[in-house]
Amino acid sequence: MRIQGALTAMITPFRGGQVDFERLARNVRWQIEQGIDGLVPVGTTGESPTLSHQEHRQVIEAVVKASAATKRAGAKPLVVAGSGSNSTTEALELTQHAKNVGADAVLLVNPYYNRPTQEGLYRHFMTLADKVAIPQVLYNIPGRTGVQLSLETIVRLSEHPNIVGIKEATGSLDVTSEIVCATDPRKFTVLSGDDSLTLPLMAVGAVGVISVVSNMLPARVKALVDAAAAGDLTTARKLHQQLFPLFSGCLKLATNPIPIKTAMNLLGKDSGELRLPLCEMGAAETAKLEKILAEHGVGKAG
């Protein structure tokens, strides 16, 4: 499986302290209607660290079910379910569950907090790849996990047929260039993990993005990715410049997913509550975000 294009790192809506499955299904349907290429539930943007294992499983099942029930001409979006953990046993259980309920692929974050060695990382991901026959995307985000996959480890892992790509969120063009140069693009793809770097990373060989901003602007993010993939640099650069202030505002005013949930609420796409320890943005930051949305023509019509 070649995973590419514009995929949405979906928020998890909460209401009264519980997952709002009705809103989640509406979000899935709207994303599909807007033409998104993939849905990525229970990642960083989905507040996965504060979901119970039962909620985690339920969210994946709900996204798979809502996606299957939504009609759209052409190819259906892939569901790439977040199933990583800092415990290999837990990651294995979540990954097997994602396969059992019909996810197309899984996203596997680097084990966090316990800071394994490169050999430990290799064995962790190889255990999952050996035991669950589902396409698997690595997720390299050292700013969240405290550990980074080395190029050597990525190359070793890319040789496994079930490991098909990486979400690259180190913020480094050099890292992406090194991965692209050292792996087989027919078997292993790189996806941007930072909205603001989607075009630069695609210029050096990435094939898409797992996007936060596409929660509210899926069609515009997809247009950027499609233009870059087609080699239409003029259009891609124009779209990047239009979207960049939104990328920056939705990722730098507060910890993700606080700004994107706030933005969606401001646009009438109620994303529900945040779950502690995440909390609402302050009044000053919210005003800045609202100004950015207004200045760049983002209204309730989306």
In angstroms, what is the C-alpha Rg of the chain? Answer: 18
- The catalytic position among 99, 167, 261, 269 is 167
Tokens for 197, please give them.
């770097």
Do the beta carbons of residue 109 and residue 145 sit within 8 Å? yes
In contact, 217 and 264? CB cutoff 8 Å = no
Q: Please, which residues have CB within 8 angstroms of residue 103's CB and are 6 or more apart in sequence?
A: 60, 64, 79, 80, 81, 134
Respond yes or no: is residue 131 known to be catalytic. no
What pairing do the DSSP bridges indicate for beta strands 18-19 and 14-15?
antiparallel
Secondary structure tally for the chain: helices H, strands E: 12, 10
Q: What backbone phi and psi angles, to 5 degrees, belong to 118?
A: -60, -35
Whether residue 99 lies in the annotated active site: no
Residue pair 43/9 in contact (Cβ under 8 Å)? The answer is yes
Angle of CA points 84, 169, 155, to nearest 5°: 75
Can you spell out the DSSP letters for 239-284?
HHHHHHHHHHHHHHSSSTTHHHHHHHHHTT---BB--TTS-PPPHH
Annotated catalytic residue, options 99, 122, 139, 269: 139
Residue type, 104: D
Q: Which sequence positions are flagged as catalytic?
A: 139, 167
